[in-house]
Amino acid sequence: MNDPEWDDEVDVVCTDTGLAAMATAISATEEDGEVFLADPSRAPRHGWFGLVRPDGEVDREDDETAAYLAELTADLDLTSLSRQDAALPVRRAGAVVPVRRRPIPAFEGRRLRDWAARCIPSPTGYLYTQVTDWTSTTMDCGDGELFKVLDIGAVDVGDDPIGAVTDWLAGEAQDRGLHGVEVTRFEHLVFDEGVVAGAVFSTPDGPLAVRARHGVLMGPGTAVTAEASADSAAAGHGVRVALVGKEASRFGRVELLTADAASDPEA
């Protein structure tokens, strides 16, 4: 695909204003990065992560974007991944692993596949088109499983974790002058010699093409609801909001980090 005439150029493009997008935007601005936050009024044409429509068929309206996304999940049966409930994932914070002492993870290929299968159906999941560790910390969460954790900040979630985190992220974004740009919907990715170069959105005034110097973050495109949020293991605790991923993976999700030993990292 030929490059469009770019309307804007930033470091990171976020295709929605969900929890992952807001957390990413906040972390990028902390590193003096420029962020484009799309605020779509319609559900994504390509469904969850642009992979599967509600009828289970792959949307091929944009072949290049569909082929790219399909390649990232070629070893997964997407139709078997059930949508997770609305509760935020809660993980017991592990020990920070110094770079010099970082062990080689065992069976990382399988773990990367399993991790993607957990992130894709998660309401707080995301796909970032560049493999990156940003300014993240490597954390050992047990059984030799290493995660890349980018701590966004502390929040008192009370008995409504999702509401508290949503409000806190919105406030932090506002303090940094971050605001969503109203678009109709995300249309497709743009590639330059096989590498994601940006994204195109539809607007009432026509297509809007935004170049990404670093990468594009794609999320579910729908808000996380408050259903079951009071049942979260984090209820009543001061916790850390974090972007959690794995080295060499493009998939991740927003999680709450806590010292609570009862937390379930597989949620």
Residue pLDDT, tens place only, 207-254: 999 999 999 999 875 555 544 343 445 554 568 999 999 988 999 999
Of 36 and 261, the one with more pLDDT: 36
Assess whether pLDDT exceeds 50 at residue 74: yes
Crossing angle of helices 161-175 and 19-30, rounded to 10°: 40
Amino acid at 141: C
Least confident of 85-89, 113-117, 159-163, 181-185: 85-89
Which residue carries 């030799």 as its tokens? 144
Residues 187-197 have a mean pLDDT of 93
Residue type, 205: D
3-state helix vs strand vs coil in the chain, percent to 5? 20, 35, 45
Q: Please tell me the predicted confidence (pLDDT) of residue 69.
A: 85
pLDDT of 198 above 90: yes
Rounded to two decimals, the pTM is 0.85
